[in-house]
Amino acid sequence: MDKQKGRFRHQSIQDQKSLVKLLKSITEGLQKGELMLSDEQGEVVLSPQGLIHLKLAAEKEGGANRLTLRVGWQDALEDEDSDQSLSVNHKKIKRS
């Protein structure tokens, strides 16, 4: 993990049962609004919220199969001013 940038990457070989367990943990974390990912290299905590972007792709070529799942969202702005609503004013212009 790159601690300065809050990155976490993990790659391993898993059996089907272990992978299902990991995916269930990810699903539970999404439901609760907190995902903690960790291994011997480090950890990162994510707080999914709001609208979530999903990208799903599948490939089957010869004997090779691949499923790619990408999920992303924006953190809410911590600045209290971000909750202000937009206001647009207009003035009627007299034309001569």
Mean pLDDT of 37-47: 92
Q: Are 36 and 29 contacting, i.e. CB atoms less than 8 angstroms apart?
A: yes
- pTM score above 0.85: no
32 lies in a domain? Answer: yes
40 lies in a domain? Answer: yes
22 lies in a domain? Answer: yes
In DSSP terms, which residues pair with 67 in a beta bridge? 58
24 lies in a domain? Answer: yes
Average pLDDT, the chain: 86
Question: By residue range, what is the domain housing residue 33?
Answer: 16-75
Q: What are phi and psi of 32, to 5 degrees?
A: -85, -15
Q: Are 47 and 32 contacting, i.e. CB atoms less than 8 angstroms apart?
A: no
Q: The tokens of 89 are what?
A: 């004013």
Q: Which residue has the higher pLDDT, 96 or 26?
A: 26
10 lies in a domain? Answer: no
How many whole angstroms separate alpha carbon 45 and alpha carbon 8?
Answer: 9
Domain count, the chain: 1
Percent of the chain with pLDDT over 70: 84
71 lies in a domain? Answer: yes
Q: Is residue 50 scored above 60 in pLDDT?
A: yes
